[in-house]
Structure 1
Amino acid sequence: MTEPLVLISDSDSGTVRTLSLNRPAALNSFTTGLHAELLAALEAAAADRSVRCVVLTGTGRAFCAGQDLADPSVAPDPTPGAAPKDLGHVISTYYGPLVARLRSMPVPVVAAVNGVAAGAGANLALCCDLVVAGRSASFIQAFTRIGLVPDTGGTWLLPRLVGPARALGIAMLGDKLPAEEAARIGLIWQCVDDAALADTAAALASRLAGMPTRALVATREAMAAAQNLDLGAALAEEARIQREMGHADDYREGVEAFRAKRAPVFKDR
């Protein structure tokens, strides 16, 4: 029986779902099959209302080494005169929908980066809401090494995370960026000892699962939208979202719990 390309497990409470990329011999690099299974797993988590947080990680010694260049969808045909592969089609068909799903998940997503995250694998992690990496992990924008530009949302994400100057240096040079340095410059949320990575990610996901899910997702969306707005438009968008949040049960529950000096029990999603 063929091993699944994405392993799926739920926490004891059922509120945290962990998706583990499962091509360890190939450093969890992307194939069309892995794309299909990961997107399906994300769609299933989005549709399951008991899930309140998702953790994305990799099996073996890597998070994800990016695109598997031996996959037929991208491997150049060595035959003289053969037509080149349409990489734009690959991006539009596989990577675009994956990024769109990650950035629109109805629950927060935590990336637990165990080992190298290169190319599309690096930007897959950065598409998540919070990124925690083991100290031995690294992030590599490997695209220029093979004559390409950052994809999987990299051109949009990198300048927003670390500013245009650092983003351009990271993307053009393609140097290995250790996890500790990635945390220092604000590319990721946290760097922890390798032995603590799984527990740290699980604790963070459990904490997020107990928080007001709809408000967390709205915070992600509002911050992303505000990058393209002037202050007045951002204030108007805050008012619109806050009006919506004020009508939700979680707001009433949060205020009642605050007044009663008890822990809130949030249920909206």
Structure 2
Amino acid sequence: MSDTQDEILTDCPAPGVLRITLNRPDAGNAFTFAMYERLAEIFTETAYLPDVQAVILTATGRMFSVGHDLQNGGSSAQVPSGIGAAHASRLSARAINQLPALMRALPQPIIAAVNGTAAGAGYGLALNADLTIAARSAKFVNAFHNAGTGHEFGLSYLLPRAVGTQRAMELLLTGRHLPAEEAREIGLILRVVDDAALMDEALALADAIMLNAPLGTQITKQSVWLNLGATSLEAAMEMETRGQAVTAGTADRVEKRAAFFEKRRPEFKNQ
């Protein structure tokens, strides 16, 4: 277990739900390299946990995350000593940028419950989640300009797809603060809720997901993300057809249909 176990908490607030909580509130939940690496460990481990059907990513305190800790961020344990600055910088970025790929590859849907300011890496986490809901007090800030880089964490890929090129350019180039309500209006996030209701809403969304067969949910997530890069409708439909073939012979598919007709909650067994 990493020394960051108190700075990134995990628990099970409901059956089938893993909650990951950034817990460094005195520092605005700013990330250290150890925290990036611990979060990567959690995502990697969770991919092999069949009893986890949905993941909620949130934080304690008034901030979701202000991004990378520019003063006390430490250094990546994955970067060897004795290499040049350019090589070290590239490997450090790789240690951070593994997170978007791990979130995309995670079989279970990720719900970001943004409880406050999401800046820099926090902005990136919110964008890379499959579904994002935010408290009314939340705001989104491209704070990567504070590090002199302007964009990281997949923002140049994700923002244009979420809100269109013109809005993405404005948000990326100016770094202005985007209030939660405006973020919802332009399609950056799913919905805005009262601050006190944020976790209840996240759990309700997770529960709605878990009414569907786990394998079908996982393959649907994969198809949506892969089909963003599909070259044609035919290619996208082929991906869907293969997903149908995988789920067709499962006992959970039979259980979902039976539960639907019998008007009861399904009981899935990952079979």
**Equivalent residue, structure 1, for 2:257:** 255
Supply the AA of the counterpart residue of 1:243: A
Q: Secondary structure at the match of 1:11?
A: strand
Supply the AA of the counterpart residue of 1:199: D
CA distance in 2 between partners of 1:12 and 1:213 (Å):
16
**Equivalent residue, structure 2, for 1:6:** 8
Matched, 1:204 2:221: no
**Contact (CA 8 Å) 1:245, 1:251: kept in 2 or not?**
yes
Matched, 1:91 2:93: yes
**Equivalent residue, structure 1, for 2:136:** 135
- Report the alpha carbon displacement of residue 139 of structure 1 after superposing the two structures with TM: 0.6
Taking structure 1 as reference, are residues 219 and 27 closer, same or farther at Cα in structure 2, changes over 3 Å only? same
Q: Secondary structure at the match of 1:47?
A: coil
Taking structure 1 as reference, are residues 114 and 254 closer, same or farther at Cα in structure 2, changes over 3 Å only? same
Give 1:170-249 correspondences, 5 Å limit.
170-229=171-230, 230-249=232-251
**Equivalent residue, structure 2, for 1:105:** 106
Give 1:11-22 correspondences, 5 Å limit.
11-13=13-15, 15-22=16-23
**Equivalent residue, structure 2, for 1:56:** 57
Taking structure 1 as reference, are residues 253 and 140 closer, same or farther at Cα in structure 2, changes over 3 Å only? same
5+ residue gaps, structure 2, are: 77-83
Supply the AA of the counterpart residue of 1:7: L
- CA offsets, 1:21-53, max 9 Å, x none? 111111111111111222222233333322221
CA distance in 1 between partners of 2:106 and 2:148 (Å):
32
Give 1:19-58 correspondences, 5 Å limit.
19-58=20-59
TM norm structure 2:
0.87
CA distance in 1 between partners of 2:120 and 2:243 (Å):
34
**Contact (CA 8 Å) 1:210, 1:266: kept in 2 or not?**
no
CA distance in 2 between partners of 1:30 and 1:109 (Å):
19
Taking structure 1 as reference, are residues 176 and 262 closer, same or farther at Cα in structure 2, changes over 3 Å only? same
- Report the alpha carbon displacement of residue 107 of structure 1 after superposing the two structures with TM: 1.2
Taking structure 1 as reference, are residues 114 and 85 closer, same or farther at Cα in structure 2, changes over 3 Å only? farther
- CA offsets, 1:95-123, max 9 Å, x none? 22222221111211111101100011101
CA distance in 1 between partners of 2:54 and 2:238 (Å):
29
Q: Secondary structure at the match of 1:8?
A: strand
- Report the alpha carbon displacement of residue 222 of structure 1 after superposing the two structures with TM: 1.1
- CA offsets, 1:187-222, max 9 Å, x none? 011100111112111222233233322222222211
Q: Secondary structure at the match of 1:133?
A: strand
TM norm structure 1:
0.88
- Report the alpha carbon displacement of residue 67 of structure 1 after superposing the two structures with TM: 0.9
- Report the alpha carbon displacement of residue 134 of structure 1 after superposing the two structures with TM: 0.2
Supply the AA of the counterpart residue of 2:91: H
CA distance in 2 between partners of 1:19 and 1:119 (Å):
19
CA distance in 2 between partners of 1:110 and 1:217 (Å):
14
Q: Identity percentage over the alignment? A: 39
Quick check: 175-184 or 39-48, which moved more? 39-48
CA distance in 1 between partners of 2:243 and 2:90 (Å):
35
Supply the AA of the counterpart residue of 1:143: F
Taking structure 1 as reference, are residues 12 and 113 closer, same or farther at Cα in structure 2, changes over 3 Å only? closer
Supply the AA of the counterpart residue of 2:102: R
CA distance in 1 between partners of 2:194 and 2:218 (Å):
28
Supply the AA of the counterpart residue of 1:236: E
CA distance in 1 between partners of 2:157 and 2:213 (Å):
27
**Equivalent residue, structure 1, for 2:152:** 151
5+ residue gaps, structure 1, are: 75-81
Q: Secondary structure at the match of 1:191?
A: strand
